[in-house]
Amino acid sequence: MIVVLTGGTGGAKFVDGLRHVIPQKELTIIVNTGDDLDWWGLYVSPDLDSITYVLADRLSSERGWGVRGDTFFCLQTMGDLGQPTWFHTGDRDLALHLVRSKLIHEGRTLAEATVEIANKFGIGARILPMSNARVETRVDTPVGELSFEEYFVQRWYQDPVKSVRFAGATEAKPAPGVLDAIMSAGAVLIAPSNPVTSIGPILAVPGIVAALKRTRAPVAAVSPIIGASAVSGPAGILMTAQKLPVSITGVAQAYKEFLDILIVDHQDAKAAKDLQRAGVRVHSAHTIMRTMQDKTQLARTVLSLVASKNTAHAASDPS
Ligand code: GDP
């Protein structure tokens, strides 16, 4: 079993590659829920949604979120009715939010609702929220503390960030199956997701870091940082706020307690050598996923790296 820790957009691209090179039933995906929000009275879980849609082959690849070919008539009418419209939910997307909210209202846990939705969509992979408890990523800015979606979507991540915290994390438990999945994995892969606000909340749930340290499976991460910036989004700003350098070194530092292999982009080959001298096993590859071929090639590279347990030093793939 391959276990993936992931957020939404970068992670969904990585999972898209994996689902094309190994059977879905060999994949367990542990998903960040720190971005979850109450929207129009519905329970919306942006990262669970993106992972569900990509595995169901429904994700809009142009937008990187939501459903392919969706329309936005409900959103327009909600605006006419004076409701907030900054968080975009398409008409087809709304069906998922309605069903999840209904299931939770009827007493199912988030994990149970996730399984039920995945089954209806014919998804073969196992999708696990990091926790059934509510853990909320809070971003402290000069205008006050914001939820991640307020910071990211409503305010276009323009506010300077003082710090980030994960409200509710210390009392949260991993969702059933999360620790077992990590402990019994053939390999654990950390997607090229935001280390602070996508992987950070997962690591903040008590027990998960300990399992990552104890598992016999190799733990490999793909860097979402190339050179001195994030491929997209606020990862760089948030890493700076968390006192991490915005570089592959910062990514290695964020995962230092359990990381076995860091996969970085070819553009970072020189920095990779320095990092390797500091004792981290680094492999350089083509990590920008624009096409399906980019995604499947990266998935194959990562899978072959974790399969070759005895490779002690970095190598470069020929791409
Ligand atoms: P979010 O929940 O929507 O923020 O999504 P993620 O955390 O999964 O993904 C965002 C991160 O993915 C950002 O830090 C990007 O730098 C990174 N990212 C996005 N696309 C790519 C890509 O093609 N290659 C790599 N290496 N990183 C990417």
Separation of CA 210 and ligand 1 centre (Å): 25
CA-236 nearest atom, ligand 1: 14
Asked if 8 and 47 count as a contact pair (C-beta separation under 8 A), the reply is: yes
Tell which residue, 159, 141, 137, has the closest CA to residue 149. Answer: 137
Asked if 12 and 64 count as a contact pair (C-beta separation under 8 A), the reply is: yes
Q: Whose CA is nearest to atom 1 of ligand 1?
A: 8
Helix (H, G, I), strand (E, B) or coil at 60: coil
| Bridge partners, 166 (sequence order) | 137
Report residue 2 CA to chain centroid gap: 15
Separation of CA 108 and ligand 1 centre (Å): 30
Could you tell me the CATH number of the domain that includes residue 235? 3.40.50.10680
Probe target for ligand 1 pocket from 33, 189, 193, 293, with the most ligand atoms within 8 Å of CB: 193
Separation of CA 191 and ligand 1 centre (Å): 8
CA distance 282 to 316: 9
Reading the chain (319 residues) residue by residue, the pLDDT tens digits are 999 999 999 999 999 999 999 999 999 999 999 999 999 999 999 999 999 999 999 999 999 999 999 999 999 999 999 999 999 999 999 999 999 999 999 999 999 999 999 999 999 999 999 999 999 999 999 999 999 999 999 999 999 999 999 999 999 999 999 999 999 999 999 999 999 999 999 999 999 999 999 999 999 999 999 999 999 999 999 999 999 999 999 999 999 999 999 999 999 999 999 999 988 899 999 999 999 999 999 999 999 999 985 444 444 444 4
Query: How high is the pLDDT of residue 310?
Result: 40
Which residues are within 8 A (CB) of 11 and not within 5 positions of it... i.e. 6 or more apart? 4, 31, 47, 50, 51, 191, 192, 193, 198
Q: Whose CA is nearest to atom 26 of ligand 1?
A: 224
Number of independent structural domains in the chain = 1
* Termini Cα distance of the chain: 27
Query: How high is the pLDDT of residue 278?
Result: 85
Query: How high is the pLDDT of residue 13?
Result: 98
Separation of CA 121 and ligand 1 centre (Å): 25
Q: Which helix (H) or strand (E) holds 277?
A: helix 269-277
Structure tokens of 291?
A: 């096409």
Query: How high is the pLDDT of residue 309?
Result: 58
Separation of CA 94 and ligand 1 centre (Å): 24
Domain range enclosing 161: 1-319
Helix (H, G, I), strand (E, B) or coil at 218: coil
Structure tokens of 169?
A: 């994390």
Ligand 1 pocket by Cβ (under 6 Å): 6-11, 13, 47, 191-194, 198, 222-224, 230-233, 235, 287-289
Query: How high is the pLDDT of residue 318?
Result: 44
